[in-house]
A and B are shown apart, each in its own frame.
Chain A
Amino acid sequence: MSVRNALEGVGEMLKGLSITFHYLFQKPDTISYPEVKRQPAARWKGRHYLRLWDDGLERCIACKLCQIVCPSQAIYVEAATNPRAKPISKSQHYAKQFQLNMLRCVFVGDCEEVCPVDCIVLSREYEIAGYTREELIYTKERLTEAHPGSSGRDPNVKRGPARMG
């Protein structure tokens, strides 16, 4: 290797170093995660919720469409007849059990899309890690939103109207 080649090589390496060096004076692209939380996009598909009607009745009518379309068989619904004296949903049936296995779920959002009563939604919460397998099988108590609208997602409003041909 001639002296000229060696000098050229050193020059190229200095050029590379200057690129890394100028990043020293730039704003970092990272965020300090646990302190600063990232705001996901409006369409983010995160933790599921079962929504309620405004009067507090459950939307789920146990039609099991979500169970059918789920590509990873993560949902289990058990239907029961809605008691007439003290109705739980607005239909003949209500979901006696609603289990969602977060370990199986791949967050495709098909359940939200097929739900005829806009009950199951994927909220924008993304911190859903757990320590045991049992606690990641979400039961109906954990899935139902605390009060109407607390899931923060209305599939008809947030996603925007789909363009139809």
Chain B
Amino acid sequence: MPMAILPNDAQARGRTMKTISPGVELERISSGAGDKFVLNMGPQHPSTHGVLRLILELDGERVTRCEPVIGYLHTGIEKQCEYRTYHQVIPLIDRMDYLAGPNEELGYVLAVEKLLGIEAPRRTRYIRVLIAELSRIASHLVWLGTGALELNVSSVFMYCFRDREYINDLFEAASGARMFPRYFRVGGLIDDLPEGFTEQARGFIKSFRPHLKEYHGLLTRNPIWMKRTVGVARVSRRQCMDYALTGPILRATGLEYDIRRAFPYSVYPDFDFDIPTQTAGDAYARYLVRMAEMAQSLKIVEQALDKLPEGPVNTVSRDLSDRNTYRSHPWRHFVVPPGEVYQSIESPRGEKGYYVVSDGTNKPVRMRMRSPSFINVQALPLLIEGSWLADAVVAIASVDPVLGDVDR
């Protein structure tokens, strides 16, 4: 009975099931709660990182109950994948966690390659890690920028989005699209890196290092920032494990758990990097973990650029990605042997898993994603209940959910 150890188990049991109609739901809560005030936060609230809706029950300024309501961005991507060939799925995968598209692609591509029993060439694996780590930095920059903006630090927001634009420039140079590059492909890449990419990437690293120091200077020891984040939205390691929370939330409680290290994939064992951890488990600790992760990702990017091996980027063993060959064999002829596979990667938000079932045709018969945002959002009542209303915003920002990833 894992539920028995939850701290608010009694409350959880007393909860009524949610109804479909929002009006009815609100009425019932307010009538049952006496003189408590029910506040509907979202789904169009600027600090809910998309379309997350929270029903907050307030006693004065204290939040006594919090219910996250999801489903406002339901795209049906898991179902849609069943009607797409393996390559047509990749643009959909991009659009789940829309802040870290390449990282998502990497997991899916690795899962299908596992099913096929092929491995991408060495150069491709290095380029994939390079692009995926850049996207992790981009994703954390959006988190830092928007999280700071919610606490009224608008200058950090501007600086973060400036640096993210430089990363998007790199994606654009490599694949031709900025936010959803769709650069990875089963068995290889769309194309080799363009000429001048390494110089451009090194230029970014050179400019980003001092910028990261500036963000630390603006926030890390700032008394207002610390007042708003230290001790806020605290979770223990035990609670993290009960709720299956992963990513920076778990690492902020002191457990050094990172899929890149625990279950290495691609060429991550070749790189020298640390897993940043903190022990406090509050919003400030998560902030420090993510800031340190950006520095570590930058380290991996630099190593990948240094070590980038020469060679082909596409496998030709099954004529999957060879441009000239599949002109005569369009992608619908590329079939995957029957079987099922699970591949997890460390996305910027935690463990992202892909469960792909194939029945031997050119389309997956079932796709299921274990998305970190969905799992982490369920911990919001734990973080928010009992705190001030103003700290609810900090709690959401520190979890960093992406609603496209929650609803799929």
Contacts and interface: CB of A to CB of B under 8 A. Distances in A.
Interface of A: 8-9, 12-13, 15-16, 19-20, 29, 40-45, 65, 68-69, 71-72, 106-110, 113-114, 116, 122, 159-160, 162-165
Contacts of A122: 176
A106 B192 contact: no
Nearest to B214: A19
Contacts of A68: 330, 332
Interface of A is mostly: loop
B314 interface: yes
Interface of B: 84, 87-89, 91-92, 121, 155, 162, 165, 169, 172-177, 180, 182, 190-192, 194-195, 214, 217-219, 221-224, 311-316, 322-324, 326-328, 330-332
A151 to B, nearest CB: 15
A19 B92 CA distance: 40
17 contacts: A12-B222, A20-B155, A41-B169, A42-B173, A43-B174, A43-B175, A68-B330, A69-B332, A107-B177, A108-B177, A110-B331, A113-B323, A114-B331, A116-B327, A160-B191, A162-B313, A162-B323
Contacts of B190: 109
Contacts of B311: 163, 165
A160 B327 CA distance: 17
Nearest to A1: B223
A113 B90 CA distance: 15
B172 A41 contact: yes
- Top 3 A-B residue pairs of the complex, sorted by shortest distance between their CB atoms: A165-B312, A9-B223, A43-B176
Contacts of B214: 19
B194 A43 contact: yes
Given A43-B174, A122-B176, A13 B223 contact: yes
A16 B91 contact: no
Contacts of B169: 41
A69 B331 contact: yes
B222 A44 contact: no
